[in-house]
């Protein structure tokens, strides 16, 4: 079954079009750049993951026996900085978005191929700063860099870390800019806005956040560096400034950044749910506009991070209500996905399992977000493990589950080979179980009052911490297994064929892996997206032929 059918003759595709390291490092092909991102982002995921392992090992016992408080501060800071800036933000847009956006809209490439390549080098330059910090002793401010601790008292490499995030931000600005122009100007003939796959809508909304939000964190980090490095102060009261202004500026980007991480995942889920139900997504326009609504409302809720930071109660109320409102477009998506599956012919392949996991975990993450946007409750829960559990449900249970669903869904398109499906099912199940075991106890811990960011805790919290650490090891296995079989499948997997899942998008109409120019002939679109009847007809015709 596995190696029985060698390819009859290697067809020309983007992977074998050119050879040698130079052909990869100087490529302007969006598909190759996506793979460059895949390698770099995966490497950072491993580093961030190692930090997570250290955190969970330390918290297995109430005493600080593995590391001292200083080291622990550095470990959770690096975990946050790497996972957020170097993994979650670029993961789906820069890998899957880069690879698929031109394919999905029937274009030969993104609008600016050179800028696309530059964005990868900018990312790598930021990454160099990050690795430098990691090797030279780290930073202990938490990924939030709150002033005046970060600018005056911290002993770590604050300027270097801020520089890493600052530079990396430009990479995501360039990606967002490229996507926006591409969606506006590169669509194939006949591909109107409301024929676009929902993945494209989600990436368009994400790009809007990237270009409007990222510059604000850039200038905030610029001011932070001026204050720390040159003592030109803006935030430290010793310089006459106000630290709360930093928090406002920081969260003006960093809350929308949460939607940079989750929206692309939602795009993936829309594609996967539709494909494996063989059914047009229920309420296409609602799902499309809910992405845009999330992007817009996402900019108006940052104040819910400042409920306990001397923000006025009236501002708090407004931010609280606006935060509730974000739940509406999110819920619209969840209900529409459920309605899509209703009476569809659901196939439980690996991508679908991940997608179903996403829906469950994201719903828990979203609902606990409502707890936290209620001001009274937030005063009790703020800075506890409840918050940690909430955002991991959204970020890991949501964003990373979606990323894995996407990787499993489009892997056969990217490399032309299918991975072992049984193993993928096992991995999806392990991830789901391991994830819940890791993070559900943290809700309870947080509710009981265990604060985040401490390496020692009262012994009565140990049971839940041990459960969490045990879950983390299962979760780790859930990430390790796909890494092995996916790499293995590149050489040894079954030949996948152009459309192994019976999906409708334009990307499934070209060869797997696609040729450098994406399509032999520029496609002309004459039907709505997700037209499964037309697809079925085509397949029947092909069978008869």
Q: Rounded to whole angstroms, how far apart are CA atoms 330 and 325?
A: 9
By residue count, the chain amounts to: 545
Q: Which residues pair with 384 in a beta bridge?
A: 451
Q: Rounded to whole angstroms, how far apart are CA atoms 211 and 180?
A: 9
Q: What are phi and psi of 418, to 5 degrees?
A: -95, 140
Q: Rounded to whole angstroms, how far apart are CA atoms 71 and 143?
A: 15
What is the distance between the terminal CA atoms of the chain, rounded to a whole angstrom? 26
Considering beta carbons, is residue 71 or 309 the nearer one to another protein?
Answer: 309
Q: Residue 466: which residues within 8 A CB-CB, separation 6 or more?
A: 60
CA distances from 201 to 268, 275, 329, 352, 399 (A): 11, 17, 14, 20, 17
Q: In the complex, what is the shortest distance from the CB of residue 356 to another protein, in angstroms, rounded to a whole number?
A: 29
Q: In the complex, what is the shortest distance from the CB of residue 391 to another protein, in angstroms, rounded to a whole number?
A: 24
Q: In the complex, what is the shortest distance from the CB of residue 466 to another protein, in angstroms, rounded to a whole number?
A: 44
Q: In the complex, what is the shortest distance from the CB of residue 273 to another protein, in angstroms, rounded to a whole number?
A: 21
Q: In the complex, what is the shortest distance from the CB of residue 521 to another protein, in angstroms, rounded to a whole number?
A: 4
Q: Rounded to whole angstroms, how far apart are CA atoms 102 and 30?
A: 8
Q: In the complex, what is the shortest distance from the CB of residue 116 to another protein, in angstroms, rounded to a whole number?
A: 11
Considering beta carbons, is residue 62 or 215 the nearer one to another protein?
Answer: 215
Q: Rounded to whole angstroms, how far apart are CA atoms 163 and 221?
A: 8
Q: Rounded to whole angstroms, how far apart are CA atoms 203 and 386?
A: 30
Considering beta carbons, is residue 383 or 520 the nearer one to another protein?
Answer: 520
Q: Residue 359: which residues within 8 A CB-CB, separation 6 or more?
A: 269, 334, 337, 338
Considering beta carbons, is residue 317 or 524 the nearer one to another protein?
Answer: 524
Q: Rounded to whole angstroms, how far apart are CA atoms 312 and 251?
A: 16
Q: Which residue has the tokens 């006459």?
A: 240
Considering beta carbons, is residue 240 or 376 the nearer one to another protein?
Answer: 240
Considering beta carbons, is residue 111 or 294 the nearer one to another protein?
Answer: 111
CA distances from 209 to 258, 300, 306, 384 (A): 10, 12, 21, 28
DSSP string, 357-373: HHHHHHHHHHHHHHHHH
Q: In the complex, what is the shortest distance from the CB of residue 259 to another protein, in angstroms, rounded to a whole number?
A: 16
Considering beta carbons, is residue 185 or 491 the nearer one to another protein?
Answer: 185
- Cis peptide bond upstream of 513, omega within 30: yes
Q: In the complex, what is the shortest distance from the CB of residue 326 to another protein, in angstroms, rounded to a whole number?
A: 21
Q: Rounded to whole angstroms, how far apart are CA atoms 328 and 193?
A: 23
Considering beta carbons, is residue 101 or 134 the nearer one to another protein?
Answer: 101
Q: In the complex, what is the shortest distance from the CB of residue 62 to another protein, in angstroms, rounded to a whole number?
A: 42
Residue ranges binding another protein (CB under 8 A): 102, 107-113, 115, 173, 177-178, 180-181, 184-186, 189, 211-216, 218-220, 222-223, 226, 230-234, 239-242, 245, 249, 506, 509, 517, 519-527, 531, 534-535, 537-538, 541
CB 412 within 8 A of CB 449: no
Considering beta carbons, is residue 470 or 517 the nearer one to another protein?
Answer: 517
- Candidates 260, 332, 291; CA nearest to 97 is 260
Considering beta carbons, is residue 160 or 242 the nearer one to another protein?
Answer: 242
Q: What are phi and psi of 495, to 5 degrees?
A: -65, 130
Q: In the complex, what is the shortest distance from the CB of residue 108 to another protein, in angstroms, rounded to a whole number?
A: 4
Q: How many CB atoms lie within 10 A of CB 479?
A: 17
Considering beta carbons, is residue 94 or 430 the nearer one to another protein?
Answer: 94
Q: In the complex, what is the shortest distance from the CB of residue 246 to another protein, in angstroms, rounded to a whole number?
A: 9
Considering beta carbons, is residue 16 or 522 the nearer one to another protein?
Answer: 522
Q: What would the two tokens of residue 255 be?
A: 């809350």
CA–centroid distance for 362 within its chain: 13
Q: Quick check: helix, strand or coil at residue 343? A: coil
Q: In the complex, what is the shortest distance from the CB of residue 176 to another protein, in angstroms, rounded to a whole number?
A: 8
């Amino acid at each position: 079954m596995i190696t029985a059918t060698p390819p009859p003759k290697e067809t020309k595709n983007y992977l074998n079009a050119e050879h040698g390291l130079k052909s990869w490092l100087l490529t302007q092909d969006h598909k190759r750049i996506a793979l460059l991102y895949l390698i770099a982002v995966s490497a950072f995921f491993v580093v961030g993951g190692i930090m997570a392992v250290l955190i969970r090992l330390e918290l297995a016992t109430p005493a600080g026996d593995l590391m001292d408080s200083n080291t622990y501060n550095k470990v959770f800071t690096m975990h946050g900085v790497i996972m957020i800036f170097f993994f979650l933000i670029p993961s789906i847009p820069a890998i899957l978005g880069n690879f698929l956006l031109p394919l999905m809209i029937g274009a030969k490439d993104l609008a600016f191929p050179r800028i696309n390549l530059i964005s990868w080098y900018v990312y790598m330059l930021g990454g160099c700063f990050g690795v430098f910090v990691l090797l030279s002793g780290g930073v202990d401010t938490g990924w939030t860099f709150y002033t005046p601790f970060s600018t005056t008292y911290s002993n770590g490499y604050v300027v270097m870390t801020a520089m890493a995030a600052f530079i990396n931000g430009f990479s995501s600005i360039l990606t967002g800019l490229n996507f926006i122009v591409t969606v506006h100007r590169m669509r194939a003939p006949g591909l109107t806005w409301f024929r676009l796959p929902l993945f494209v809508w989600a990436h368009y909304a994400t790009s809007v956040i990237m270009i409007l939000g990222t510059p604000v964190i850039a200038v905030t980090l610029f001011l932070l560096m001026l204050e720390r490095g040159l003592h030109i102060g803006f935030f430290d009261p010793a310089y006459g400034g106000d630290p709360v202004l930093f928090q406002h500026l920081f969260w003006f980007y960093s809350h929308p950044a949460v939607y940079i991480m989750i929206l692309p995942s939602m795009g993936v889920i829309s594609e996967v749910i539709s494909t494996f139900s063989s059914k047009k997504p229920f309420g296409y326009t609602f799902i499309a506009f809910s992405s845009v609504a999330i992007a817009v409302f996402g900019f108006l809720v940052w104040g819910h991070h400042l409920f306990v930071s001397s923000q006025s109660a009236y501002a708090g109320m407004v931010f609280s209500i606006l935060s509730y409102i974000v739940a509406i477009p999110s819920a619209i998506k969840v209900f529409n996905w459920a309605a899509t599956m209703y009476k569809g012919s659901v196939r439980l392949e690996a991508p679908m399992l991940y997608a179903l996991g996403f829906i469950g975990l994201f719903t828990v993450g979203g609902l606990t977000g409502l707890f936290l946007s209620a001001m009274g409750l937030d005063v009790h829960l703020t800075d506890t493990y409840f918050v940690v559990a909430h955002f991991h449900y959204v970020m890991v249970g949501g964003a990373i589950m979606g990323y894995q669903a996407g990787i499993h869904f489009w892997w056969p398109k990217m490399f032309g080979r299918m991975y072992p499906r049984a193993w993928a099912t096992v991995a999806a199940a392990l991830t789901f179980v391991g994830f819940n075991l890791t993070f559900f106890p943290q809700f309870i811990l947080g509710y009981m009052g265990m604060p985040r960011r401490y390496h020692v805790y009262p012994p009565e919290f140990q049971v839940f911490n041990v459960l969490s650490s045990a879950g983390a090891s299962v979760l780790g296995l859930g990430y390790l297994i796909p890494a092995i079989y996916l790499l293995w499948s590149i050489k040894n997997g079954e030949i996948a064929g152009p459309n192994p899942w019976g999906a409708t998008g334009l990307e499934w109409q070209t060869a797997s892996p696609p040729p450098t120019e994406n399509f032999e002939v520029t496609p002309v679109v004459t039907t709505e997206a997700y037209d499964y009847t037309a697809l079925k007809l085509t397949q029947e015709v092909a069978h008869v032929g």
